Amino acid sequence: MFGLANPTKFMRFSGILLPYLIITTLGLFGWGLYMVFTAPEDYLQGPLSRILYVHAPSAYLAQAAYVFMALANFTGYIWRHPLADMAAKNAAPIGATFALLTIITGMLWGKPAWGTWWVWDARLTSVFILFIMYLGYIAIWQVIEDQVKAARVATIVAAVGLINIPIIKFSVEWWNTLHQPASLTTSGSAIHPSMLTALLIMFAAFTFLFTSLLFISIRTEINRRRARAMEMRILQQNIAQTNLSTRAAINNQEPD
Amino acid sequence: MEFLSLTEFTHYVTAVYTLVTIGVLGLTGYILINSQKQRARLRRLQANKAINK
């Protein structure tokens, strides 16, 4: 795993893997959406239950991306692996998008199901905080120009935000919330197998989408850093050349 | 649960799938455009370096 921390090795490895990842993602989405729209409707919610096939995977991905981001930051901080910080930095916009989609899809389900777009209950509020944490994290990378310093500050923010993840998970058990408790647990599922299959395929599709987008983003980041390093080298060469010519010109003008 | 008609329920489902599609395609598009920009930038610099040699 750490062998891939070398950017050149990662570029080679991801270049081979990426087409397969994209094909698998598209295949899983096609299969998943077919299963979603052919799965039976919930007897109480009717067609509204189809919203949950994208809401639940979005929510899972928003949290999983944050955990991944924090772990990548720790790896970068402790072992100084060049790719770890890049992975963390690029996981944030993807996670933030899915956190926003979780909130929006939840609101659109909540209005007809609960009669309200939004309530400040523990689950909804903690997911909103997660979204804000993502925005803060992205802002750090944008504001701090020195990438090493930015990575250090980002690690602290990621660590602070990590406390929110178990709060999101257990909020429905610790407090009285409008949001229902988890339907999928280690002890079993409260979902009928005909619906569960579609949901699990959508979970897999979202996971593969995240991996594909993250790989493309890391490759972009490596190219960006390589281009920046080349520009800096060219700039240094130009400055050195200018200095030489100026010195030569001064020497020529000096009186004997 | 509010008593809504089947059509109203379907409107909410359509809105969700439209927004998720826009969100996912928007994010993918942004990442791909950025990727192409950086690749082009790197290639241009490498080409310039080769010419200058």
The residue extents of the domains of chain A are 2-182+189-246
Is the CB of residue A56 less than 8 Å from the CB of residue A105? no
Question: Given this model, what pLDDT does residue A184 score?
Answer: 73
Residue A48 to residue B13, Cβ atoms within 8 A: yes
Question: Given this model, what pLDDT does residue B36 score?
Answer: 95
Residue A220 to residue B35, Cβ atoms within 8 A: yes
Q: How far apart are CA A95 and CA A134, in angstroms?
A: 7
Question: Given this model, what pLDDT does residue A3 score?
Answer: 64
Which residues have CB under 8 Å from A178's CB, separation 6+?
Answer: A114, A119, A121, A123, A124
Is the CB of residue B17 less than 8 Å from the CB of residue A102? no
Residue B42 to residue A230, Cβ atoms within 8 A: yes
DSSP code per residue over chain A:
-GGGGSHHHHHHHHHHHHHHHHHHHHHHHHHHHHHHHHSPPBTTTBGGGGGHHHHHHHHHHHHHHHHHHHHHHHHHHHH--HHHHHHHHHHHHHHHHHHHHHHHHHHHHHHHHHS-S----HHHHHHHHHHHHHHHHHHHHHH--SHHHHHHHHHHHHHHHHTHHHHHHHHHHHS--SSPPPSEETTEESS-HHHHHHHHHHHHHHHHHHHHHHHHHHHHHHHHHHHHHHHHHHHHHHHHHHHHHHHHHHHHHS--
Question: Pick the residue with more confidence: A251 or A135?
Answer: A135
Question: Given this model, what pLDDT does residue A24 score?
Answer: 97
A65-112 pLDDT, tens per residue? 999 999 999 999 998 887 899 999 999 999 999 999 999 999 999 998
Q: 């924090």: which residue's tokens?
A: A70
With a cut of 90, say whether residue B24 has pLDDT above it: yes
Q: Determine which of A21, A48, A61 to mutate to test the interface with B (most B C-beta atoms within 10 Å).
A: A48
Rounded to the nearest integer, the mean pLDDT of chain A is 90
Question: Given this model, what pLDDT does residue A2 score?
Answer: 61
Q: 């395929």: which residue's tokens?
A: A201
Find the CB nearest B16 among A51, A97, A227.
A51
Q: Given pLDDT bands bounded at 50, 70 and 90, which one contains residue A256? A: low
How many degrees, rounded to 5, is the angle at CA A21 between CA A15 and CA A27? 145
Return residues 135-194 of A near B (CB < 8 Å): none
pTM for this structure?
0.89
Q: How many CB pairs under 8 A join A and B?
A: 91
**Tokens encoding B4:** 């809504």
A45-65 pLDDT, tens per residue? 888 889 999 999 999 999 999
A145-187 pLDDT, tens per residue? 888 899 999 999 999 999 999 999 888 888 888 887 777 777 7
Q: How far apart are CA A23 and CA A96, in angstroms?
A: 24
Is the CB of residue A181 less than 8 Å from the CB of residue A173? yes
Residue A109 to residue B15, Cβ atoms within 8 A: no
